[in-house]
Amino acid sequence: MAVAASAAISNSFTPSIRRALTSVNFFSSLSSLSSTTISFPTRQSHYPIISFQNPSFRLMVTSALNIETSDKVSPSSFLDHREIGILHFVKYQGLGNDFILVDNRDSTEPKITPEQAVRLCDRNFGIGADGVIFAMPGTNGTDYTMRIFNSDGSEPEMCGNGVRCFARFIAELENLQGKHSFTIHTGAGLIIPEIQEDGKVRVDMGEPILKASDVPTKLTANKDDAVVHSELNVDGVTWHVTCVSMGNPHCVTFGNKESKDLQVDELNLLEIGPKFEHHDVFPARTNTEFVQVYSDSHLKMRVWERGAGATLACGTGACATVVAAVLEGRAGRKCRVDLPGGPLEIEWREEDNHVYMTGPAEVVFYGSLSL
């Protein structure tokens, strides 16, 4: 079985990668090893090859770590192959929030189902990711459409770290270098990422939605139409919450009646997170951000994501956090938000009411699978 799968996969690689694999007798090693390292005479000095044997799908990945470019083989030549039954993907991460990116530009139907996404996202039995993202044809005149499945198979409207990865993925697919900007249709409307010269991606995330019924939350609005610093009882503890949608719902808290200023490292996120996510005041469930204020322009945040649990970062969550901090009078409009996976720069601009997010997005590895 392993050899058959490997043979199919081998055809998906560029000739130089195939030569390298063949030269170390890769295919016979696949049936007995779960992990091995291969020297590559191509664009990478050492290519760790990891194979997963799984009854429901077969997968091989090639790591993109330690890249030393030495010839003309480009990642897009790998992605260009289109064998029937074989799905190529690239795994990306934005501050440790990781995604399986699928080239879906030839169809408006996602190439994998939510159920398959759950299996692929599994960190023990699959590739491991917080979600699967599809790069699709544009809608209403946009360059592209982005759809995403969370690791639980649900489909959110938007993903901030994901859209930075999406922009880098498009640049790779289209073989673009340097500064580039795209218009992307998402469930949260038009999103415009711009790849900067340094490789980071700055994203116009649009306007935050504050109207309680649109977030959505059943909590009563107390500041115009918005829910700001409102009391929410979660498992006997009264938390102060501000509700913000960045296309997807967020509940932001800086503390509760017992501990007014949170020490976010002390939180038991696994216990408290799901109680917020499934609270009956959030009809579409919610993402929750627990925030500590360092200064007027520096916040620290941990997140419990709807449909994905505790992740290392959440872009829409960082945006919602700064909006909530401004509404509660805790910080200015331009902040650095520290997440477990690293910092994001966020600005809620007064001039256009848009939120701008800047941060990294990197390839982790390339892979192929037969579903």
Ligand X SMILES: N[C@@H](CCC[C@H](N)C(=O)O)C(=O)O
Question: Under the criterion CB under 6 A, does residue 291 sit at the interface with ligand X?
Answer: no
User: 93, 248, 292, 368: which one contacts ligand X (CB under 6 A)?
Assistant: 248
Q: Which is nearer to ligand X, 64 or 303 (CB)?
A: 303
Question: Under the criterion CB under 6 A, does residue 159 sit at the interface with ligand X?
Answer: yes
Question: Which one of the spans 113-121, 177-185, 299-307, 333-341 is the region binding ligand X (CB under 6 A)?
Answer: 299-307
> Dmax of the chain from CA atoms?
68
Catalytic residue among 121, 243, 251, 314: 314
Is 319 one of the annotated active-site residues of the chain? no
Q: Which is nearer to ligand X, 62 or 277 (CB)?
A: 277
d(CA 238, CA 222): 17
274-to-161, 235, 245, 368 alpha-carbon distances in Å: 21, 11, 18, 33
Tokens 């795209």 sit at which residue? 182
d(CA 219, CA 282): 8
Question: Under the criterion CB under 6 A, does residue 308 sit at the interface with ligand X?
Answer: yes
Report yes or no: 291 and 326 within 8 Å, Cβ to Cβ: no
Is 314 one of the annotated active-site residues of the chain? yes
User: 6, 104, 245, 316: which one contacts ligand X (CB under 6 A)?
Assistant: 316
User: Which long-range CB contacts under 8 A does 46-54 form with residues at least 24 apart?
Assistant: 47/20, 49/21, 51/2, 51/6, 52/125, 52/126, 52/127, 53/1, 53/2, 54/125, 54/126
Question: Under the criterion CB under 6 A, does residue 150 sit at the interface with ligand X?
Answer: yes
d(CA 315, CA 15): 38
Catalytic residue among 121, 159, 251, 319: 159
Question: Under the criterion CB under 6 A, does residue 321 sit at the interface with ligand X?
Answer: no
Q: Least distance (Å) from ligand X to the CB of residue 97?
A: 5
User: 6, 287, 321, 368: which one contacts ligand X (CB under 6 A)?
Assistant: 287
Report yes or no: 154 and 306 within 8 Å, Cβ to Cβ: yes
- Where do contacts with ligand X occur on this chain (CB under 6 A)? 97, 150, 156, 159-162, 248, 287, 305-308, 311, 314-317
| Catalytic center residues | 159, 314
